[in-house]
Structure 1
Amino acid sequence: MKIVSIDNSTKDYWEKTYIEAFPPEERLPFEQLVKMTNDNDHIHLSIIKKDEENVGILFHGELSDTEAYVFFFAIDNKFRNGGYGTKILSMLKERFPNGIILESEELGLADSDNEEQRLRRYNFYLRNGFKDSKHLMKIYDLSFHILTTGSEDTFKKYQELLNHIQPEAWFTEENN
């Protein structure tokens, strides 16, 4: 498996997978993702490949040479439950040994219509070595658990990055 930069031949696949994997309220416009990538050498829009077949997408930013923030990560519907997600997370943990940070939708919300999916995703990350930081990131009407393999320092770098690219986001500690 490998992670390769998006190009003209994979742009449509990336966008299609992105739309299938994330609800509209969680997505940023694709053009904005491309602009962020073009404007910053530390932000990457990538395709996940097994052999020469596209199996997923990744949008991540390097917080340092050894730490990263995963904005968006999804395995193509037809390849889910095949171990690809675990393999990619292992590759990322090897590449960024001092920490990876990502967001998982908040659990236990009364108005959530996809609680089971949220719980599966959250538990998937825990099984793959992530810990709940006990912080929530809130933006607009959405809130996310902050999961990490890193330290509080990784969380602070993530906050700085997010304050730069999405200043409307804010953070709070979980109640439990």
Structure 2
Amino acid sequence: MSAFPDWERFSMPSLLVMSLKPSVKFHALYDGGKFCGIAYFVESDTTVYLTYLAVNKDLRGQGYGTKILTLLEDRYPDKQLVIDIEPVVPTAKNYKQRVSRLKFYERNGFHRTDQKLKDQDGEFEALTTGKKLDKPGFVKALKQMSFGFYQFKIEK
């Protein structure tokens, strides 16, 4: 709950309903018996859209986020991984957190695109592990995740 602000979170009932679709995965991640975090993602033909990656706040900085991303890259070697982050703008109240988040993803093979995901909650910058963002694959993943009910735009 502390990894994402309220306004960026889908409700738990919504997440659970969406995870009934075979293409949507909701995993609690453990190291032995120790809860490490969650990964919530949707898979389309060419894309794995990582909607949520959250590491247990007591374990952050210990390499678990990198391990989770590596697991996804190993499991889906022929697909682009896509995430979205808050835009890194100096006027943001949490600017340092945004910079830190961007650096984390860049260290883990993601790069910035010129595409923005816009929805009712705001604007987010799309990052991908692909050579360039496969926009149709990303759009398909978003639609699959939400049964087509999620209202969004992908634009420059």
TM-score by length of 1: 0.80
Query: Aligned partners of 1:141, 1:92: CA distance in 2, in Å?
Result: 27
* CA–CA separation in structure 1 for the residues paired with 2:143 and 2:47: 17
Percent same amino acid among aligned pairs? Answer: 28
Question: Does residue 27 in structure 1 map to residue 9 in structure 2?
Answer: yes
Paired residues of 2:47 and 2:141 also in contact (CA < 8 A): no
Q: 2:40 aligns with which of 56, 59, 64?
A: 59
Equivalence for 2:102: 122
- 2:102 partner SS: helix
Higher relative contact order (CA 8 A, sep 6+): 2
RMSD: 1.7
Give the secondary-structure state (helix, strand or coil) at the position aligned to 1:150: coil
SS in 2 for 1:108: coil
The answer as to whether partners of 1:43 and 1:59 remain within 8 angstroms in 2 is yes
Equivalences for residues 134-149 of structure 1 within 5 A:
134-149=114-129
Q: 1:68-113: CA deviations, max 9, x gaps?
A: 1101001010000001111111111111112111111111163x21
Question: Does the alignment pair 1:170 with 2:153?
Answer: yes
Instruction: Find the aligned partners of 1:121 and 1:54 in 2 and give their Cα distance.
Output: 22
The answer for the alignment partner of 2:84 in structure 1 is 103
Residues of 2 paired with 1:41 and 1:141: CA distance? 26
Secondary structure of 1:78's match? coil
Structure 2 distance, partners of 1:104, 1:142, is 11
Name the structure with the higher helix share.
1
Gaps of 5+ in 1: 1-18
Is the 1:56–1:74 contact (alpha carbons within 8 Å) kept by the matching residues of 2? yes
User: What is the number of residues matched between the two proteins?
Assistant: 152
Q: Distance in 1 between matches of 2:86 and 2:71?
A: 23
